[in-house]
Amino acid sequence: MTKMQRAFSMLEMSIILVIVAFLIAGMTQVTRVITQMRLNSARTQSISSGILAIDDLALWLDATAEKAIYNAAGSTNPDDADKIATWKDFNKQSMIKNDATQANDASRPTYATNSINNLPSVKFTSASSNFMSLNNVFTKSFSLFVVVRTTVSGGGGMAYAGWPILWADSQSNGFDGIPLAITDGYANTFNGNPDSSLTSSNQINDDKAHIIFISRNNDNGIRFVIVDASSTTSDNNGAAGTVLDDQSAVLLGSNSIDNRYFDGYIGEIISFNRALPDDERKIVEKYLGKKWGVSVN
């Protein structure tokens, strides 16, 4: 090979490297644009969902909302796998916000991009003892919606033996309850004295997104567990006990008594301080289904 040929080879290689660098940079920029477009679409759906028109909204944690997630450095533009210090309450009905927080860096969950329907969510890992805490927003009657993706089975039987999603149990008080846990792969809600669990009719630990709805009407005792707006179980044991009244805080992803922790992704949590009628429940389910890619009837 002549000197001129070697020179041309080096020049050609340099040009190729420059072109590859431009292509990579371009692809990265395109990915960022697509990600932002998806976020903007999700945020538009949230604002136009009609949720804020439903009375008695107590909590709205939305991983896609603008400035909803604060990483450990205080940035509201977290990168994938960043540790989360604060998940801001999106509830605009109230001046009082119920943010989910975690001050201990080792216990912070992480930000997971493109994790549910190509949208971000909050990832909890049991091996890292991830959890967050927030003010107790639950009243004797409540309605709760959670968008979740998981593969965990959890313990069997009562909710307190399961893997916690939202937890406010007190070992010393029989008059309490657990809004939502996973037992044997099923969604489970619980209230005490006498101990009473209500479990979904189908499992949710298939690594797919699911919308879980839990409601409790303290006046007539009727409880519901509905998965993906179609699979329904109910009973009239919800009036037993004074659900959650002894707790000032709720844990997200942790069982404070038995040190159990949730494994999976949570995209959105919406809670109301009453049992919603079917028409209002369906408004929320329709919105969540469209946004998170869950088929609902």
| Burial (0-12, 13-18, 19+ Cβ within 10 Å), 72 | middle
Return the domain boundaries, the chain: 1-48, 55-292
**Phi/psi of residue 38, nearest 5 degrees:** -65, -40
3-state secondary structure 252-279: ECEECCCCEECCEEEEEEEEECCCCCHH
For residue 183, what are the β-bridge partners?
Answer: 186
What is the rounded distance in angstroms from the CA atom of residue 172 to the CA atom of residue 249? 16
Q: What is the pLDDT of residue 182?
A: 87
At 170, phi and psi to the nearest 5? -130, 120
pLDDT tens for the chain, residues 1 to 297: 555 455 446 656 667 666 666 566 555 555 666 677 888 999 999 999 999 999 999 999 999 999 999 999 999 999 999 999 999 999 999 888 999 999 999 999 999 999 999 999 999 999 999 999 999 888 888 999 999 999 988 777 777 777 889 887 665 655 566 788 888 899 998 877 677 889 999 999 999 999 999 999 989 989 999 999 998 999 998 876 555 555 667 899 988 777 889 999 999 999 999 999 999 999 999 999 999 999 997
The pLDDT value recorded for residue 8 is 47
Which residues have a Cβ under 8 Å from the Cβ of 244 and sit 6 or more positions away? 136, 138, 139, 168, 176, 177, 179, 250
**55-292 is a CATH 3.20.20.150 domain:** no
Q: What is the pLDDT of residue 49?
A: 93
